[in-house]
Amino acid sequence: MTGKILVIYAGGTIGMQASETGYVPAAGFEQRLRDQLGARVAQLPTFDMLELQQLIDSANLQPHHWTELANIIVQHWQQYDGFVLLHGTDTMAYSASMLSFMLQGMDKPVIVTGSQIPLAALRNDALDNLLTALTFAAEAAIAEVCICFNGRLLRGNRATKVKSAALNAFDSPNDDYLAQVGINITLHAERLLPAGSAHFSIPELASEAVVVLPIYPGLSAHTARAILSDNVVRGCVLHTYGAGNPPDANVELMMLLQEAIERGVSIVNVTQCLQGEVSQGAYATGATLNRIGVIPGGDLTLEAAFTKLHYLIATQSAAAVSELMVKPLCGEMS
């Protein structure tokens, strides 16, 4: 393995230590890691480590953190051949998705990983995930943002956390794995995105610009209005049933969605189902959304839809948002 890797420790379970109130982010991760690696470090790709001054418990992640992480990567882009981002699992899929949009055209790997059990624990998944991530970060064939977890390499904007208390916490239900790790490493080169020409766009994100409106039995227009009425809201991910179906018998709710669209809010429809895609119009209820101008989100994950909408709103005109939401920009949808 050749090349030099930058490992960015942003926080998360992987580097936490026990406290009286539970696991908390702890500084000084590099020394703890190198102590555990010992002489084995000579067998790994050469790596430097950068630790955020303010570590993030990923449950506290905010949109401005995506801009911060992307800027760190861009600032070091020319000095390294690959990057590993150590991140908490709760919002890992959101960050991997957003980084894929911010770093379009990349020609190097950015591998996001973490763990379900801290490195400080006697029995943990942290060391294996990190070692495997370093291996993939040194792989020149990879030119995209990926999540490496429990022996799987997943496209970052196709991944979602599916288990809260298992080591195989992540999956990509609508996309094949990019690589699998067992006794041997199987890299599916034909599934990888081609290397591009970097045209990074790292916008400042308005934290309240995008909201999520989940559909559930009994959802009232009053509740939806409270979510959509704020003038700062410019995008909404509508989380619907099955093939993209809303309760269209709730005429007041449908009118509220239409009014929001007419005043410039981009509404994107994604399914609550783990597998499959939105097919707006397959049922009469979904056809109502076509009529009022809701954007069908295909097989986007909730995380990819949310971050893509955030990114496009920050970088494009309203007309371009509608056009680009339905087109794959970096492998995020079929």
User: Could you report the per-residue pLDDT of 48-90, keeping only the tens digit for each?
Assistant: 999 999 999 999 999 999 999 999 999 999 999 999 999 999 9
Q: How far apart are CA 99 and CA 119, in angstroms?
A: 25
3-state secondary structure of 157: helix
Among candidate residues 191, 219, 248, the one where a domain is terminated: 191
Q: Is residue 69 part of a domain?
A: yes
Q: Are residues 180 and 33 in the same domain?
A: yes
Q: Are 23 and 126 in the same domain?
A: yes
| 187 lies in the same domain as 220 | no
| 187 and 156 co-located in one domain | yes
Same domain, 169 and 266: no
* Cβ pair 261, 229 in contact under 8 A: no
Taking alpha carbons only, the member of 119, 87, 124 closest to residue 10 is 87
- pTM score, two decimals? 0.96
Q: Look at residues 121, 156, 191 and tell me which one is the last residue of a structural domain.
A: 191
Residue 302 lies in a domain: yes
- Whether 234 is in a domain gets the answer yes
CB 185 within 8 A of CB 328: no
Residue 203 lies in a domain: no
174-203: per-residue pLDDT in tens? 999 999 999 999 999 999 999 999 879 899
Identify whether residues 119 and 219 lie together within a single domain. no
Q: Where is the domain boundary, 191, 222, 254? A: 191
Helix (H) or strand (E) segment spanning residue 324: helix 318-325
Average pLDDT over the chain, rounded to an integer: 95
Q: Do residues 106 and 23 share a domain? A: yes
Is 332 contained in some domain? no
**Arithmetic mean of pLDDT, 283-303:** 94
Contacts of 39 (CB under 8 A, 6+ apart): none
- On whether both 111 and 215 belong to a single domain, the answer is no
Say if 261 falls within a structural domain.
Answer: yes
Same-domain check for residues 271 and 124: no
Quick one: 48 and 183 in the same domain?
yes
Say how many residues make up the chain.
334
Q: Tell me, yes or no, whether 141 lies in a domain.
A: yes
Q: Average pLDDT in the 143-154 region?
A: 98
Q: Are residues 135 and 80 in the same domain?
A: yes
CB-based contact 83:116 (threshold 8 Å): no
For 78-234, strand residue ranges (E) read 82-86, 110-113, 145-149, 152-155, 160-161, 170-171, 179-181, 185-187, 210-214
Which is catalytic among the residues 2, 13, 301, 307? Answer: 13
CATH number at residue 105: 3.40.50.1170
Tell me, yes or no, whether 187 lies in a domain: yes
Q: Based on the structure, what is the number of domains in the chain?
A: 2
Task: State which residues form the domain around 18.
Answer: 4-191
Name which of 107-121, 149-163, 197-211 the model is least confident about: 197-211
pLDDT digits (tens, 9 = 90+) for 86-133: 999 999 999 999 999 999 999 999 999 999 999 999 999 999 999 999
Q: What CATH number corresponds to the domain at position 248?
A: 3.40.50.40
Annotation marks residue 13 as catalytic: yes
